[in-house]
Amino acid sequence: MSVNAKKLPITHFFLVAFLCLALGEEVKSPGKYPLVVSTWPFLEAVRAAWRTVDSGLSAMDAIVEGCSACEELRCDGTVGPGGSPDENGESTIDAMIMNGVTMEVGAVAAMRYVSDGIKAARLVMQHTKHTMLVGEQASVFAISMGLPGPTNLSSEESIDKWIKWKENKCQPNFRKNVLPVDDCGPYHAKNTVNLVENICTNSNWSDCGKLWSSHVSLHNHDTISMAVIDKLGHIAVGTSTNGATFKIPGRVGDGPIAGSSAYADTEVGACGATGDGDIMMRFLPCYQVVESMRLGMEPKRAAEDAISRIARKYPDFVGAIFAVNKNGVHAGACHGWTFQYSVRSPHMEDVTVYTIVPEIPTH
């Protein structure tokens, strides 16, 4: 497989670099620290994190600055306020931060009325003995700790998207085995006798997995997942998302789940993930990646392995992973879509984006 690269002009926002065939080549960073890696071409978020960590501040500080920049910019409409309305037209926030030195985690899920997801997650870590707070009580806590709110997290765009969805009889949605099938609720369960026909068994698992073909795409269901290694070699990760578009109210995806959307251990490395969180969180792919690297796998192989474990059970799932070890070697793997992840290291003039093309199975 081959790797091609193009330098990003400083004055140009877009870039295309490193088209990696199959699941992508492993890339080594000559001057390894500090290092910032993020899902997708969220360039301003990576730049914000880089400025912070390159100035000598901690990996944790850089995660907060990077993810906060994405929340403020509403990256792809899937991070921060104003995007991804749920069935009721409301936008909520999931976020998580993890310290790879202490293994502390702070997270918020389905948080209402507060737009600063990553800052709220860090406040959970700093000012509670808990790992996660959820819903409106997460909002109450965040506001009590000094974050702005309560704030309406919807926007004209998100409300317009929701109205059009309602006009389309609430299709597509995340309901299953309910009536009505092709209309908006209120919903109720189908006769349980009929559900027996839909039970998945080992013999029909492959076909059954296709029933869960998701409504996931780059612009309706996405996460910024970021890893930072600071000048001391300490590693932190963080995530932020407003979740799946038209999700059922109360839904929590993989974004605030340590080990699923991201994971870090300074002794080993880090991982970030994006995609269909409802499926991916069942496999804890980032925990798998870090533990595989602990056992000696290189980042590329660890990422490929974690993705393949999911694809064997859910061949139609959409998702991606980046992996980076403590030496700054990074790689990516994906399934169901083309994935891009962004990197900034000391030898780069600016952010570089790596493009990963999914492997086409051969039979």
Residues of the binding site: 251-254, 274-277
Q: How far apart are CA 230 and CA 146, in angstroms?
A: 27
User: What three-state secondary structure class fits 50?
Assistant: helix
Q: How far apart are CA 274 and CA 272, in angstroms?
A: 7
Residue with tokens 């099938």: 181
Q: At what angle do helices 59-73 and 117-127 cross, to 10 degrees?
A: 150
Whether residue 223 lies in the annotated active site: yes
Q: How far apart are CA 97 and CA 143, in angstroms?
A: 18
Nearest to 112 by CA among 154, 67, 52, 63: 154
Q: Which residues pair with 353 in a beta bridge?
A: 342
Q: How far apart are CA 62 and CA 50, in angstroms?
A: 7
Q: How far apart are CA 280 and CA 285, in angstroms?
A: 7
In Å, what is the CA distance from 135 to each residue of 107, 108, 112? 11, 8, 6
| Active-site residue identified among 78, 223, 241, 266 | 223
Pull the structure tokens for residue 331.
């790689």
167: CB partners within 8 A, 6+ apart: none
In Å, what is the CA distance from 47 to each residue of 27, 43, 113, 282, 311? 20, 6, 27, 32, 33
By CB atoms closer than 10 A (0-12, 13-18, 19+), residue 299 is buried
Give the residue numbers of the binding site for substrate.
251-254, 274-277
- In the chain, the amino acid numbered 51 is R
Q: How far apart are CA 256 and CA 276, in angstroms?
A: 14
Residues annotated as catalytic (active site), given as ranges:
223
